[in-house]
Structure 1
Amino acid sequence: MKRISVLVLLFALLAAGPGGAPGSLGALRAAAQSGADPASPLAGWPLFIPLLGRLYPTFSITGQVIDSDGQPLSGVTVTADNGASATTDSQGYYDLAGLTAGSYAIAPALPGYSFEPAVISVGVPAEAEGRNFTALESAAELIVNGGFEVNAGWEFPITEYPAGYFSAWAHSGLRMARTGIIDQYDNVYSYSSIRQAVTIPAGTTSAILRMWLYTISLEDPNQPAPAIPLAATSEELESAPLAVDVQYALILDANNDILEWLYWQRNNNKFWTLHEFNLTKYAGRTIKVHIGTYNDGYGGITSMFVDDVSLETSALPAATPTPTPTATPTVAPPGVVCNNAFVNSSFETNAGWGIPATEFTAGYSYERAHSGVRSMRTGIVHTAQNKYSYSDAYQYAAIPNNITSAVLSMWIYPLSEEAANAPLPAAPAIGEEFGKTPLASDVQYVLVLEPYNNRIIDVLLWVRSDAQTWLNLVFDLSAYAGRTIRIQFGTYNDGWNGVTTMFVDDAAVDYCTAAAATPTPTLPAPPTATPIGGCVELIGNGGFEGSGSWVIPATAFSAGYSYDRAYAGLRSMRTGITASAHNRYSYSDFRQTVAIPSWARSAVFSFWEYPSSGESANVPVPAIPEGEVFALEPMAGDVQYLLILNSWLNWIDTLVWQRSDARAWVYHAYDLVALGYRSDTISLQFGTYNNGWGGVTSMYVDNASLLACP
């Protein structure tokens, strides 16, 4: 690990006065007033690691909020993820001013209303105008005591380690519900759950269940969650031992029969994440919301905290779907366990799906949905926006090698204005890199790609359809047993004549495996593993769901919180540049300062990164600078990095120095005590450098944790 000193604030240069010495404030102002191209460094000027602000133009995001009758709505607060906010005037208009170029997520709020859409991602300045919302009057709240502030509404089943109310780090208010075990010395075989019965009125057009979850698990992260058991009732579920710990949420009927599995995972996020589920299909029924955690009594402990549970009906009118044949659900035979390899199959949240930035990027859409309220739009809907563009979404699917079947299913709603007699372009060849060349005419497609590049393994669908109805597609993926593949669907527009689009909903990769014989329920023997206790989390806001703890220096293209992709929850931190049109010479960093305790025998810094680069593979990764000061000269190629700075913000170590185009979430872990940082105060600084030429490079970071243990 190389230790290099950095001069962070060069007061002598900045104090050179209005005479304009290179690097002085006077020279900076002169350059800004001259109109010099900010995308290229001025010759002879040093570029320092981005800890020092510069002068940049600012922009506004503007739009209007109307109610369900089309009338302007005043008093709505519109907030961006950087903390900026504005309130709508008497005509419903808002103006979020003072923003630098970059990506933002904005959301409206007004008591008594929900909004469509709930959140909009905006690229500034290109997409800054006309970001409008529709306010929908909220109807009755069906959950009693959703904030757990009183002892009412919830049932706590008696188990070996029952759930309970808990006062600590509630998402709001003073209390929340605890499920699972929070003290290693209490580790026992036990289910631990809460539930509440609700009746969704007949005729309800929208019923959305929302809950905030805070998950903790000390189980081995490399051990997957157990398969969903073949249980018909909650009593059967919570009387059967499972192989490892798991956190879960279910929908039961009035007799405690399981109707739906909403959540079945084992996460160690250690931050609050919002989860939404569409329960409109249960209109006219009494159901139970059942949330819990299972501990197997071995290894680490697992818990899940729950707060702000809401089941709210909305005034959003239900769309009248075009009648289509409904596929008969596949029921797994006895002795077979089936799982869905996809996350967010119904597109109701912003998780799971990768959406490449293109000339006309795909996106989540409220325009039409096969179920729920959203789908994924690919392609172009409005003729006036016609342009040459690929428009895709994708997700990885890991298919075990012991499957009995693996099926990709999805519903598509294809539309095309192209002439029916226009020839369809030839499908790409197997092994070809997809999306690099223009095609002769529009096309809709579903592909199987290699996981870490765009090379085609198979073409499942290659059509141009104007069916204007929901169609069900099913493809056999059994040939990919034991492999991780990338399922990518999209629409290509050539920019001529009519436009073509394809909406996709309810996409799933269902794989089935033979279930192991169910053991006779017995209590496991007491654990023999050494108890794990006393560890302290040193990173704040490691899931990037809030806007605190991290410092984001202002640069030519600053880092920022992003809804574009997330390993867990809704947000991550973006560094670097994602759209080719924004390519410029810039560092893009964020950091957090931490103090490693003197008592720590280990301090493991872990995180997930999603790197992407459009730079040519022939351009070498720049060497780590050999001089005493980092970034005195522009580097020859783009690079992604993680640095360690000392308490004076001098660069002293390098943990990551790469240019990767993995386009997948990659896990990293470093023991900072083993690297010699016990008792030290340091800053962990992530970043991406773009040289302004060739392709653009970025790196998303999520689930950062620094766990100090005695």
Structure 2
Amino acid sequence: MVHRYHICIAALLCALLGLLVLPPAGALSSAPPYQTCSNVILNGGFETSGNWTLGPGPLPPMYVNSPVYSGSWAMQTGSPGPTNALANSWIYQRITIPNNAVSADLNFWTWLTSAPNAGTDVQQALLLIPGSNNLNQPFQVLWSTQTNAPAWQKISASLINQKGRTLDLYFNVFNDGAGGNTSMVLDNVTLTICQPSSTPTVLPSVTPWPTPVPTSLPSATPFPTPLPVSSVTASPIPSTTAFPTPAGSATPLPPNCVDIIGNGGFEWDGDWAFGWDPLLPFYNNNAAFVHSGARSMAQGAINQSPVTTPAFSSIRQNIVVPPDAFSANITFWYYPISNAAAGGFNRQELILLDPLAFDETVAVLWRVTENSQSWQTQTYDLSQYRGRTLSVYFNARNAGDGTWTGMYLDDVSVVVCDSAVAVQLPAVIPPIATPAPDSGIDSLQPGQPNDVATTGATVISVSPVPSSEGSPSTAPTASSNTGSDEPRRERQPLSFSDLSPAAVLGLVSFLVILVVVGIVLLRRRKEGEEHASQSTPIDGTPDG
């Protein structure tokens, strides 16, 4: 007969087995998903002269090597010296907050100077509707101050209220031209966006970089002259609360999708960097060569005149493909013109470049020599480039042999969707594994204080620079600053549905064994009661 203490020991062993295979306490009651986080700001440490659009004017922004928070360079706006003028001094970069973002945290470091009699001068961070360029009517004022604080301070703001939108992130200093001057030095700009991720990825541990040591010398040695930028004409927008759709925009996107290309319809002057070559691209407003909206982009020998000098005619724009995107697809419309034979150096093409690796060719997605003189479309899958920073490079190349090749380009989009949306795509031609053009990619041509109502609530925090005592004296290199493009994955508590098969098996086994033990105990109890009712007398004689 099995004794009850044997059953208790078995139950105890089963309970211990269940504790070994079950997750820690609290894992079943918490349900946040895994998250994938990445910084979407390009060149936030200003270590190169790209990715930011610098405004013109009497007080233009400039790259400086002192003061810097980390690395070798920072960005100065406004006027720290004796020169004063009525002017805005601004830089901007286009950003996109995905629909499924769970957080979007902007951080940047500032070194602020402002004279006591600075009048209406102001230092500020703004969000503008793409293409509006109107600093007097921003979409949202993130931060605005007039402060004299010649020491590094960290400014933080949450942009989660703008998810699903593409906006221009402006940093601006306004000087009223009278009294004292106002300036701002900017460094280590990051916008960290976290999105749900269905599967966790275990990354190797990374040794943290030494704490950067701020420098405080006031001199400002100019960065090698940045490439010229087009002037911007400010124009008012009808409302600061509505988010208008630019003319010529494509069909509305599905839920949980966002177009991360800026100005894909070329309806305003901005977002695209032009190659500096004899056949300069230009914005075309001839309706006969526009696919939708009011304008398109003209590239190459669109006037059908013989070209006797080898020439590129290129535009490009940098993008970051989210690391956990379910799908990412580039679509564009083109109107090809050429009298050259196919297969030579006269061609229309789309190439992906790596701006973080000296424009190394990533893939030649499309390369043709066509003369249909009608609008055609192409779509390519970019999902294999998740987590990468890419330059989308369109080019119309002429070999200089007396023929002519060109194209009009319109309605460019890079639509990124999360896992809640499945996008059906046409067949995609795989990238051509060929190098970049033989002679290389051509070189690039690279308001007042506001009192309008802001849109949405923004959380702002200001942090002084941490003490540098005891920290190494060597600052991180450009590749190691906080603007790294490497994604960061954060492990969150599991929900029940995320348990491993072993944990589920252990839980089920534990419950089954408890049920069996309970049945055995009940049966033994019943047998004991039956035995007691049929017991013999004490003297050992049967009842008679």
TM (norm. structure 2) is 0.37
TM (norm. structure 1) is 0.29
Which structure carries more strand by proportion?
1
**Greater RCO, CA 8 A, separation 6+:** 2
